[in-house]
Amino acid sequence: MRAVVFLGPTLPVADARALLAADYRPPAAMGDVYEVVERERPDVIAVIDGYFDQVPSVWHKEILYALSLGVRVLGSSSIGALRAAELWPYGMEGVGWVFEAFKNGALQDDDEVALLHADEDTGYRPLSTPMVNLRVGLVRAFERGMITATTLQTMIELAKRCFYPERSWRRLFHDAARDGIPVGELDELRRFIDAERPDIKREDAVELLGLLAASPPVPAASRSRVEFTRTVFWDNLVADERRLGRPSTGLVRREELRRFATATDAHIDQLRRDSLLIHLVQEACEMSGVELTQQVFDDAVQDFRLRHDLISHEAMSAWLERSGLSAAAFQALMHIEAQISRLLAMHARQVNEHLLDALALSGRLAETLDRWAATEATNANAGPQPGPSARVIEEFYRSHVRAFRGPLRDHARNLGFASAAELIDEIRKIYVPPTGK
């Protein structure tokens, strides 16, 4: 039996191979199922993991196309379960608890299976916990009498309110304690979770692979097929596939683009340093239980748009289109921005202590020393004289040094100054009057 399995963070490939000998591919994106069917025509395609934000998700139509050619298609755990719940009347087979929950309407939101994860190089290591895993763990604890029905419902609501990249048992226990859940129940629940680590997505994937391993091959001629209707959208996808020779996602696959940038970008050293910062920020937030309020998130979005001159709706939309980012993908990026902003505020003093080290490592310390010396010399030669008002200095600062939102005093404190006046005194050293005035 020739089987292709799209798998990512739900189950390590090494564990999957121990259950089923198959051709394991990265999480499915739009066009991947079509490509496999056209080029390889396998007996079976199993969709477990797939992309939600970075690239368009695997399309229903390409699954129907595979079924129309007699290819057996199964889904479980993640986006595979979602697609199977939608397409089971047409022959796609769903396997597991997640599939059944979406099929019978108990679950309806895609974010139930969504999670934040690392890239292919790290085996798609999960960085957050899917809502379905939290939900099933809580239900099992309730069924064993560890928590009450009230605690079960309250903790499910707390987890559901949390932005999906931040969901974890650590965060949920923190929120539950703050919400007044009895300590005894939380302690017993914590012991249960630590001991069993309920992972329904993994369990469903294991069930699917075990089912395929036990299934005898079905001759192609006897496989059930569905009627397939071509549409203009399908024809456009096929035309793009044949012209480009790869899936027509409308976006470059993340792994392909990452490798290209690593090999060709002249600033790769700085990019890797920035990537390290993101990695450490996410780990620090997870380990410290850092929380992001909606206000912190909204401020991070506004600051990003201001820095990149994306104030208008038109400019923002154009930037997203050029960057190939969906609104959901942008939201995930802004989650990182908000985490960085939160940590900068928490560690402002330590950050300022290392600014000169950062200047030296960036190679800009000598330039800064030269500018400082020139400024000191100019001010010494000029002697004491009345200067412009604080308002004029602030306007100069906003237009010539950096744009920022809100009052100057808040901005000054964010930079580590004791007051707005202290920042104004520094900006006076570089103030240049407008020409002709």
pLDDT at 248: 36
| Average of per-residue pLDDT across 346-369 | 85
d(CA 166, CA 115): 9
102-125 residue pLDDT tens = 999 999 988 899 888 777 777 778
Alpha helices in 162-267 (DSSP H): 169-178, 183-196, 200-214, 232-244, 254-264
CA 8-9-14 angle, to 5 degrees, is 70
Please name the residue that has the structure tokens 């292919």. Answer: 120
What burial class does residue 237 get, using C-beta atoms within 10 Å of its C-beta: 0-12 exposed, 13-18 middle, 19+ buried? buried
Task: Count CA within 13 A, CB hemisphere, residue 420.
Answer: 12
> Which CATH class, in words, describes the domain spanning 3-109+202-244?
alpha beta
Across the beta sheet with 44-47, the strand order is 23-25, 3-6, 44-47, 72-76, 93-95
pLDDT at 139: 97
pLDDT at position 79 over 60? yes
- Return the pLDDT at 49: 95
Q: List C-alpha distances in Å: 53 to 56, 87, 430.
A: 7, 21, 44
* Cα distance between residue 302 and residue 131, in whole Å: 29
Per residue in 260-301, pLDDT tens? 777 888 888 888 888 888 889 888 887 777 777 777 888 888
pLDDT of 301-355, one tens digit each?
888 888 888 888 778 878 877 776 666 567 778 888 888 988 888 888 888 888 8
pLDDT in tens, 42-77: 999 999 999 875 557 888 899 999 999 999 999 999
Q: In which band, very low, low, confident or very high, does the pLDDT at 243 lie, cut at 50, 70 and 90?
A: very low
Of residues 354, 431, 351, the one with CA closest to residue 389: 431
Angle at which helices 131-143 and 149-161 pack, to 10 degrees?
A: 170
How much of the chain exceeds pLDDT 90, in percent?
A: 38
Predicted confidence (pLDDT) at residue 156 exceeds the cutoff of 90:
yes
pLDDT at 82 over 60: yes
Per-residue pLDDT, 300: 85
- Is the per-residue pLDDT at 386 higher than 70? no
Domain boundaries, the chain: 3-109+202-244, 121-200, 267-346, 386-437
